[in-house]
Structure 1
């Protein structure tokens, strides 16, 4: 199992192994998924709703199949567990994503954060920290939060919207 992960890492994540642009794409997928997984675990719990939001977000942003998404999430979970900070993930996103794509990542962070209808201070702090590392302006950070709250509230996903204002 460890050899398979190492082989995948060498083939898809290691910057020295660029193959027709595929490694950058895989690295971006893993970096984005790792940040979302970190958000899903920021409250020290693993809610299925939050991981469903991670799955849906990765699938949507990278136009992957359900199977490809599951593989990316599994590998990103290992990467997130081994990471010492968020910089390695945000650095790659900063290099490869334009501003609007980085705003989409912030939007996904809020979708994961609010997926279980609860938000604690650690989740909000992590969203703020990642947003700063992505160099996304505060106004766009707040706009994404409010947009996700409105969407979740309109769908009945958030039972008590006042807890999030």
Structure 2
């Protein structure tokens, strides 16, 4: 009986870790899309992406680097924003979605300029994540503070 319980708990933990892994990849993919929306990804945007992933998921920088490298290598296999944001909506509460939006703002603001493509992307993601415009503005301010721009 004890072995059955140990096996069951082990399977539950493994399943939870797999779900977390896919959520890490989904959010990381959105961060990389935000970094690349202007046609170029600079080192500052990559570093901010790593930092955001590490702090949100409490993972090491090495793990974040592997995830980003894997997604970068598979860059030709794009997912639609609708499917990515649906998974986030399904697995995250409102405050978590607002924090994710703040991370996205941090990536967009990393080069200290917002072009029209980045602005459009953030408006679309705000709607797709079901975050209000007011809370998106708050998330943008939080990102500016973290970057030392406010």
Fold in common (TM above 0.5): yes
Partner Cα distance (1:103, 1:81) in 2: 28
1:135 aligns to 2:124 (yes or no): no
Equivalent positions of 1:81-100 (< 5 A) are: 81-100=76-95
SS in 1 for 2:39: coil
RMSD: 1.8
CA 1:37–1:128 in 2, change beyond 3 Å: closer, same or farther? same
Counterpart for residue 104 of structure 1:
99
SS in 2 for 1:81: coil
Equivalent positions of 1:1-165 (< 5 A) are: 19-78=14-73, 81-152=76-147, 155=148, 158=149
* Aligned 8 A contact 1:37 1:80 in 2: no
Unmatched runs of 5 consecutive residues or more in structure 2: 1-12
* Aligned 8 A contact 1:31 1:76 in 2: no
SS in 2 for 1:20: helix
Give the superposition deviation at 1:74. Answer: 1.8
* Aligned 8 A contact 1:34 1:79 in 2: no
TM-score when normalising by structure 2? 0.84
Deviations 1:97-123 (A, max 9, x none): 011000011000110001111110101
Give the superposition deviation at 1:22. Answer: 1.7
Unmatched runs of 5 consecutive residues or more in structure 1: 1-17
| Count of residue pairs brought into register by the alignment | 138
Between the two structures, name the one with larger relative contact order (CA 8 Å, sep ≥ 6).
2
Partner Cα distance (1:42, 1:126) in 2: 8
Mean Cα deviation higher: 120-129 or 78-87: 78-87
Partner Cα distance (1:19, 1:71) in 2: 20
Which protein has the bigger helix share?
2
Larger radius of gyration: 2
Deviations 1:62-108 (A, max 9, x none): 01111111111122334553124212211111111011000011000
Counterpart for residue 5 of structure 1:
none
